[in-house]
Chain A
Amino acid sequence: MEMEFLHRDKANSSHGNLSFSNEGELFYLLGGEAMKKNMKSIIISLIVIIIAISGFFIYKNFNAKQKVEGDKTIEVTVISEKDKHEKTYTHATSSETLGKALDEMKIIVTDASQATRFITGADGLNADASKQEWWNLKINGENSQTGIDDTVIKDGDKIELILTIGW
C-alpha cells in the first residue's frame, strides 16, 4: 500500500530532486526508522536552542557581575589641543555605565544612528568626521576597548575625552 502511494507520487512530481516526496520523506515520517530520525532532529534542535538561550543568559549575568552598584565619583577631562581646551569635571553618580554618567553631566553630544552610540561633540566642541576628527576615549590612561554604553565605571575612574585627528 505504501509503495503504491510512493509510485503514484513519483509519477506526479514535476520537479524531481526538489520535491519532498521524491525520497518519500513525507510518507516515511510516519514510519518507524524515519520517525526515529525525525525525533532525533527535533531533540537536537531543542538542544541547540537551549544552548543559545542559556549561553545568552550566562553571558548577560557574567557582564552584570562586573558592574559596580552604588555611588561613585568619576573625573572627566575634555581635551582638545587644537582649541587649546582642557577642562576637568568631577561627577558623583549611581549610574553603572559611562554613557549614562556622561548623559547626566550633559557635556556630550552623541550619534546613535549606528549599532553603538558614539561621541560627536563634547564641551561644545565638535569632531568633524570630514577632517578625520574623532573623540578618543581613555580610561585611567588607557584607550578604551568599548563604547561609552558598554564601559562600566567604578569609583575614582579618570576618564579623558581627547579630540584626535587622523585614523
Chain B
Amino acid sequence: MYKTKDLIILALLGALMLVLQVMMSGIPNIEPVSFLLIIYTLVLGRRALVVVVVFNFLLGLVSGMGTWWFGYWVVWPVLVLVVLLFRKIIKENFLGWSIVSGVFGMLFGALYSIPYIFTVSTTFAFTYWINGIPYDLIHMVGNYFIMLMLGKRVYNLLKNLVAKYNLGTKF
C-alpha cells in the first residue's frame, strides 16, 4: 500500500511535470517531460508510473481529451519501462541516459502514432509519423542536451529530497 505522504509527493511530482511542460510548450518539441520522467524512474522505480497517470490526466484536463490523448498512454509508460529495464546496466552514467533520452525523442513520433492505427486509420498513423520526422529530430537533440546538462544534478537533488522526506520503500 502507498502511504498518504507517498501519494501526495507522487501527485506533486506529476503536477510539477505538467507545469514545466505547459511552460515550455511554446518551443516545439523541446520538453522537460522525458527528462523528468527518466530521473523520476531512476529515483522512484516503478512508482514513476503513478506520476505518469497523474500527468496524463492533468494534461487531458488542461488540453481537452481527444484522440491525441491516447498517444501519451503509450509513450510515457514505455519510457518508464525502458528506464526500469536499462537502469541496472547504465546505472548513474548520465551520458548513457542522455543517449537513451535522445533515442526516445527520435522514436517519439512513431510510438505516439500507434493508437491512431486504432482510433483513426493506419494511413493516418503512418502519415502522422512521417510528417513529424523533422520534429522528432529536434526532440532528439533537445532531450539529449537537457539530460546531458541537468541529469546528474537534478538526479542527486531528487535523490536527497526523497531520502529526506523518507518515502516508503520500493515495491
Contact = CB atoms under 8 A, between A and B. Distances in A.
Interface of A: 16-18, 37, 40-41, 44-45, 48-49, 51-52, 55-56, 59, 145-146, 150
- Going nearest first, the 10 A-B pairs with the smallest beta carbon separation are A145-B127, A17-B156, A52-B137, A52-B141, A48-B144, A55-B137, A41-B95, A59-B133, A56-B137, A56-B134
Contacts of B91: none
B157 A59 contact: no
Interface string B108-124: 00000000000000011
Contacts of B95: 37, 40-41, 44
B159 to A, nearest CB: 8
Nearest to A20: B153
B88 to A, nearest CB: 21
Nearest to A41: B95
A37 B98 CA distance: 14
Main secondary structure of the interface of B (DSSP, over half): helix
Given A18-B153, A41-B148, A146-B127, A48 B140 contact: yes
Interface of B: 95, 98-99, 102, 123-124, 127, 131, 133-134, 137-138, 140-141, 144-145, 148, 153, 156-157, 160
Given A17-B153, A45-B144, A145-B127, 20 more contacts: A16-B160, A17-B156, A17-B157, A17-B160, A18-B157, A40-B95, A41-B95, A41-B148, A44-B98, A45-B145, A48-B144, A51-B137, A51-B140, A52-B137, A52-B138, A52-B140, A56-B134, A145-B123, A146-B127, A146-B131
B98 to A, nearest CB: 8
Nearest to B133: A59
Contacts, number: 43
A37 B93 CA distance: 11
Contact of A150 (B99, B124, B131, B144): B131
A59 B157 CA distance: 40
Contacts of B144: 45, 48
29 contacts: A16-B160, A17-B153, A17-B156, A18-B156, A37-B95, A40-B95, A41-B95, A44-B98, A44-B99, A45-B144, A45-B145, A45-B148, A48-B140, A48-B141, A51-B137, A51-B140, A52-B137, A52-B138, A52-B140, A52-B141, A55-B133, A56-B137, A59-B133, A59-B134, A59-B137, A145-B127, A146-B127, A146-B131, A150-B131
B146 to A, nearest CB: 12
A124 B99 CA distance: 53
A15 to B, nearest CB: 10
A59 B138 CA distance: 13
Nearest to B137: A52
A18 B158 CA distance: 11
A55 B135 CA distance: 11
A156 B148 CA distance: 52
B139 to A, nearest CB: 10
Nearest to A144: B127
